[in-house]
């Protein structure tokens, strides 16, 4: 192309003076490309305020992030404002229990006999003694019953009792929850199957077959302490009444369809465990009288015992599956050990944990009312949660038992081989979402972070009967999770690359 420009045109151009000006002036920009630098890339990352605003959550969003090794605060918003942490509180409970009870602690459930045992006959009472084990299941009770048989026990002359006083009896973890939700059962020193009973129904012609059992992966003993009646109505779906020695439920026939199943909470945990153990003992030819509930077991001879997994294993499962009853029983067991006495209530035990957190972790404004985070009156600041995480980072006791959290795109699809790795505890209540834990960025920098979002005004307007799945809560929670991921992406880009 350049060969087609004539010599005359080129000379005319020079004569015009334009070329002289263009060629003689110093360059106003480098002729060699200049790298924009890391700062330019970081400036292109959305700001935290923009990320929060885009989520359109209403209420309040609180967050903080710090260098996990040094504790240096990197970014925060409303970081000193107390917000319901939901199940993020379980991370604090885990630290509390590990510190007070120790990672190798095991809970023990015993079968004892008062009086003498002669020729396979227990002359006195047989007592199932709860030891605060939140993981006791039907299989474990079956093993205890089999151990009695192996010892040659064939008859019990006295009463059959269940001692539940290792922890206080609490009818429900959170009184503001609907009666029928399995995640808010009763709590005491004995628990079976997370204090839940399995309700199953099947249509047969114009009627239904109903079972209430304490099933495990291999056993399905029926129970009499939990009773179900089908009522010809549309709403409410479930009702509960205290039957003295039984939990009396009704269910709306219109809600049943052709069949289904769900776990319902147990309100009488000692009677429930006694009911099931009585059935399992009978399968070995040992006939027990109906169980009686006592606070403490008298002195006696230990005939059989079951030990739980170690505490570290229990807490890893608690953090992964967010089991509320595990958090409450483990937390109250830690308080009993720390103070030397059984706590009077969940709130009293949580207050003791708050005091421990202030002394051991350096928190300043933690106001938890339970150990699971189920109670909406609990308050925690993002700063306090990050402070706790920073304090725990050096000992490496928490991160290995936290759940890995996959990074996702805005459509919630998992992003494989993402350069940021996250181990954290999630927390979800109606119009409350939390996430706190550790993130390792591309350059290896480890950060501790906490994100709490809550629309408490909307939450307060939900009727109790609708609190299991209120309208709008699912989409709100989805937006909150997208926001959390975008904040983590931001912190990885700005502070870890």
CB distance 428 to 374 below 8 Å:
no
pTM of the model: 0.90
What's the pLDDT at 411? 80
CB contact burial 131-168 (16+ within 10 A = b; e otherwise): bbbbbbbbebbbebbebbbeeebeebebbbbbbbbbbb
Q: Is 468 exposed, middle or buried (0-12, 13-18, 19+ CB in 10 A)?
A: middle
Name the CATH code of domain 108-167+272-307 (choices 3.30.1490.100, 3.40.980.10, 3.50.80.20, 3.30.70.990): 3.50.80.20
Show me where the domains of the chain are located: 46-104+310-495, 108-167+272-307, 193-267
User: pLDDT digit of tens for each residue in the chain (497 aa)?
Assistant: 333 333 333 334 333 343 333 333 343 443 444 444 545 556 689 999 999 999 999 999 999 999 999 999 999 999 999 999 999 999 999 999 999 999 999 999 999 999 899 999 999 999 999 999 999 999 999 999 999 999 999 999 999 999 999 999 999 999 999 999 999 999 999 999 999 999 999 999 889 999 999 999 999 999 999 999 999 999 999 999 999 999 999 999 999 999 999 999 999 999 999 999 999 999 999 999 999 999 999 999 999 999 999 999 999 999 999 999 999 999 999 999 999 999 999 999 999 999 999 999 999 999 999 999 999 999 999 999 999 999 999 999 999 999 999 998 878 888 888 999 999 999 999 999 999 999 999 999 999 999 999 999 999 999 988 889 899 999 999 999 999 999 999 999 999 97
What is the rounded CA–CA span in Å between residue 317 and residue 103?
Answer: 13
What's the pLDDT at 70? 97
Residue keyed to tokens 């070995």: 284
End-to-end CA distance of the chain: 46
Q: Give φ, ψ of 230 to 5 degrees.
A: -90, 130
The architecture (CATH level 2) of 46-104+310-495 comes to 3-Layer(aba) Sandwich (3.40)
Sorted by sequence, the CB contacts under 8 Å of residue 23 that are 6+ apart come out as: none
What's the pLDDT at 23? 31
- Cα 212 to Cα 240, 276, 404, distances in angstroms: 15, 12, 36
């Amino acid at each position: 192309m350049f060969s087609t420009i004539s010599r005359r045109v080129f000379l005319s151009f020079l004569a015009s003076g334009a070329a002289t000006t263009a060629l003689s002036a110093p360059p106003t920009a480098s002729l060699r490309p200049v790298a924009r630098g890391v700062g330019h890339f970081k400036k292109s990352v959305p700001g935290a305020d923009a990320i929060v605003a885009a989520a359109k959550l209403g209420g309040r969003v609180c967050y903080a992030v710090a260098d996990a090794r040094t504790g240096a605060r990197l970014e925060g918003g409303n970081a000193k404002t107390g917000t319901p942490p939901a199940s993020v509180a379980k991370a604090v409970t885990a630290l509390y229990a590990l510190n007070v009870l120790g990672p190798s602690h095991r809970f023990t459930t015993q079968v004892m006999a008062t009086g003498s045992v002669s020729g396979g006959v227990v002359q006195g009472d047989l007592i199932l003694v709860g030891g605060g084990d939140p993981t006791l299941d039907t299989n474990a009770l079956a093993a205890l019953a089999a151990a009695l048989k192996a010892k040659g026990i064939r008859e019990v002359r006295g009463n059959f009792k269940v001692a539940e006083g290792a922890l206080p009896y609490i009818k429900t973890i959170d009184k503001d929850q609907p009666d029928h939700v399995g995640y808010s059962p009763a709590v005491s020193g004995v628990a079976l199957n997370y204090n839940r009973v399995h309700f199953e129904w099947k249509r047969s012609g114009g009627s239904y077959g109903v079972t209430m059992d304490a099933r495990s992966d291999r056993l399905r003993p029926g129970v009499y302490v939990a009773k179900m009646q089908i009522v010809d109505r549309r709403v409410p779906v479930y009702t509960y009444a205290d039957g003295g020695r039984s939990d009396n439920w009704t269910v709306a026939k219109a809600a049943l369809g052709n069949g289904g199943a769900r776990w319902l909470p147990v309100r009488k945990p000692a009677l429930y465990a006694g009911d099931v153990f009585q059935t399992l003992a009978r399968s070995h030819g040992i006939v027990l009288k109906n169980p009686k509930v006592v606070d403490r077991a008298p002195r006696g001879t230990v005939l059989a015992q079951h030990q739980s997994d170690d505490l570290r294993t229990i807490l890893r499962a608690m953090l992964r599956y967010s089991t509320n009853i595990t958090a409450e029983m483990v937390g109250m067991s830690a308080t009993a050990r720390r103070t030397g006495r059984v706590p009077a209530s969940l709130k009293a035990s949580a207050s003791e944990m708050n005091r421990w957190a202030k002394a051991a972790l350096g928190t300043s404004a933690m106001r938890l009312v339970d150990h699971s985070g189920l109670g909406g009156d609990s308050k925690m600041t993002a700063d306090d949660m990050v402070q706790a995480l920073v304090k725990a980072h050096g000992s490496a006791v928490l991160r290995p038992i936290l759940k890995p959290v996959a990074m996702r795109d805005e459509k919630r699809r998992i992003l494989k081989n993402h350069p940021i790795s996250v181990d954290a505890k999630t927390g979800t209540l109606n119009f409350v979402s939390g996430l706190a834990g550790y993130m390792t960025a591309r350059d290896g920098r480890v950060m501790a972070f906490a994100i709490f979002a809550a629309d408490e005004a909307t939450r307060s307007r939900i009727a109790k009967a609708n609190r299991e799945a209120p309208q709008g809560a699912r989409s709100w929670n989805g937006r909150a999770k997208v926001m959390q991921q975008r904040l983590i992406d931001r912190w990885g880009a700005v502070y870890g690359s």
